[in-house]
Amino acid sequence: MKSMLAISLLSIFSFMTFGCAQKYVVEDAKIQEDGVYRGVFIDGDSIQVNVEFELEDGVVKEASFRHLRRDDDYHLTAEEEPYRSVIKQYKEALEHLVGKDLEAHLKDLYEPENIVETDVDGYTSATLRSNKIVSAIRDALNRGVYSYP
């Protein structure tokens, strides 16, 4: 009984100290190498955002979407409204990082209303979920360099 209590307490202490309860902040994304990075945001077993970007000295040189989808409603080739505008919003948010230091400006994506100018009609109430882009970028950084320029 004492050993079970000790194991339980050790588990709780470890979880609180090192585990999943840690809140990740933008500064945790450490850029280590120049190169091309790829990352994804997956939700419900479907890829929603897949990004590719090139870093040089921590600055984003190029950035693009490889895949962008929400259910079957929109994707990178969507031409009909409001989906075309939603795609444009996502592209504007990602392109905001081009030419900027990634560590310093990744947090800008948490407030897309300050960087995205494309409007989406009020009928659909479509809104940009830029945190999906942030998640895909963090995934890419965690994976490391995909290819070297």
In angstroms, the Cα distances linking 47 to 65, 85, 118, 133 are 12, 20, 24, 12
In a domain, 60, yes or no: yes
Residues 6+ apart with CB under 8 A from 64: 51, 52, 53, 94
In a domain, 9, yes or no: no
Going by pLDDT thresholds of 50, 70 and 90, the confidence category of residue 113 is confident
Range of the domain at 131: 24-143
pTM of the model: 0.72
Task: Determine the Cα–Cα distance for residues 10 and 16; give it in Å rounded to an integer.
Answer: 10
In a domain, 14, yes or no: no
Residue 128 sits in a domain whose CATH number is 3.90.1010.10
In a domain, 3, yes or no: no
Read off the pLDDT of residues 18-75 as tens digits, 9 standing for 90 and up: 443 333 334 455 567 999 999 999 888 777 889 999 999 999 999 999 888 766 666 7
In a domain, 37, yes or no: yes
Going by pLDDT thresholds of 50, 70 and 90, the confidence category of residue 82 is confident
**Phi and psi dihedrals of 68, rounded to 5?**
-150, 120
Amino acid letter, residue 20: C
Q: Which pLDDT score, from 0 to 100, does residue 46 have? A: 77
In a domain, 49, yes or no: yes
